[in-house]
Amino acid sequence: MAGSANPTGRGPGQRDLTQGPIGKTLLLFSLPTLASNILQSLNGSINAIWIGRFLGEDALAATANANIIMFLMFSAVFGFGMAATVMVGQAMGRRDITAARHAFGASVGFCLFLSVLIATLGWFGAPRILTMLATPPEAFPLALAYLRIIFLAMPGMLLLVMLMMGLRGSGDAMTPLWFMIVACILDAGLNPVFILGLGPAPRMGIAGSAFATAIANYASLVALLIYIYARDLPLRLRGAELRTLLPSVADIRLLVGKGLPMGLQMIVISTAGLILVGLVNREGTLTTAAYGAAQQLWTYVQMPAMAIGGAVSAMAAQNVGAGLWDRVSRIARTGILFHLAITGVMVALILIADRPLLALFLGGGSPAIEIARHIQFLASWSFIIFGISMVLFGVMRANGVVVWPLIILIIAMFPVRLGFYFLAYGWLGADALWVSMPVGSFAAASMAALVYLKGGWRKQRPMILPEDEECKDAVNAETEPAGRMKPTG
């Protein structure tokens, strides 16, 4: 199939990640992903400002409850999206566009089914979900109105994420960025329009914020689909290829088997964060406020490692598919160096300018500022260490290794981090909370490095969907062995 499987061309912004200087290629591929992450966070902050300013604290509390549900949904789709990124990347590395389209179509079809199911169950189950979250009575009706529309927006939101992650697997990080910009501008711009009922728009209150999010994501999704076909990007599906949108049981088994552990990694991290918040709350209001302000800054500190980890996965996957293992090792080293440089600079900046930055959230005269500065001094550098494990996980994930990273995170976040807290609290007090973060990060990075160096993860079979495997076997069976021999260089 290789002869008929070569891409006919590359879309704007699309890169062949198996060629060229690794440092420059990885940097140029990481930056659009980092920009997309920053835009998403800024968009959420802007929407929170609109809701808080126009509708008050109860409405803001209502969105906080709904956002927990959204995060869980996105965690699951992130896992399936990363599985799609890796499968598409490996296929593109093999120059097998047929397999890339099959992986892309099966992933999008599975995501469509899953998102429609989530939307339906969520609409009817929203009251029970909010009750289980112990939503305050005064915020309950607002949260219900907001959450139900968010569930209706889910298919558009989740499909948009899946398409973007598939495109990144093909080597295109710029197209997802442009359409993320479109979605964020529409969302932030339409929020006040539908909240307040400006112009011909109806006044919808908090439901207007969710409605604006729905419009923004569906509009961006449709625009992205039009762009993919108008530019004839390599992953577009036509004719018989559209059948891949109905994934087989074997397709779903592979997607779930690889995607679920990756989604669970996000849930493990967030669960550990929620437990930490509960422990912080025991230290009093000032400490809680200080931690909340520090966490706002940490949101941005974490982004380079996430972006580089995602870029490393896509880049390494293409090189795994091409069998260029020397480049895979160099990608890992380069990714770690970029992470150390970028995250290190960001940590240094927030420690140098900590007082004015924290004052943005706490006010210049707040007594919580000194507590927040102390927290940052003890804990901020943990993100430099933790990011090393994120990059190594990204490289291993590129060859379909997903269980080891999950196991490492579970051990580092719970027995190590929480164990240290309970053992050290008697002599460190609240500082045991902040010191537990670098302790857990060091454990995660050490275990990740051990598995990367000694774990035999390179022996994993490529992530090939069943029909593609059968096709390859048929071709191999009909070809003379001598005809398949290639120089090893």
DSSP one-letter string for 117-169: HHHHHHHHHHHHHHHHTT--TTTHHHHHHHHHHHHHHHHHHHHHHHHHHHHHH
Q: What is the pLDDT of residues 167-201, one digit of tens each?
A: 999 999 999 999 999 999 999 999 999 999 998 98
Per-residue tokens: 165 = 């992650």
Tell me what pLDDT residue 14 has: 66
* DSSP at 4: G
pTM of structure: 0.82
For 193, half-sphere exposure in the C-beta direction (CA atoms, 13 angstrom radius) is 14
pLDDT at 480: 36
Q: Is the backbone of residue 246 left (phi > 0), alpha (psi -120 to 50) or beta? A: beta
Non-local (6+) Cβ contacts of 42 within 8 A are 184
Low-confidence spans in the chain with pLDDT less than 50? 1-9, 470-489
Give the pLDDT of residue 415: 94
pLDDT of residue 8: 41
- C-alpha 345/C-alpha 194 separation (Å) is 40
Q: Looking at residue 439, what is its pLDDT?
A: 96
Among 15, 162, 92, CA closest to 462? 92
Count CA atoms closer than 13 A to 212's CA, side-chain side: 32
Q: Which residues pair with 172 in a beta bridge?
A: 14
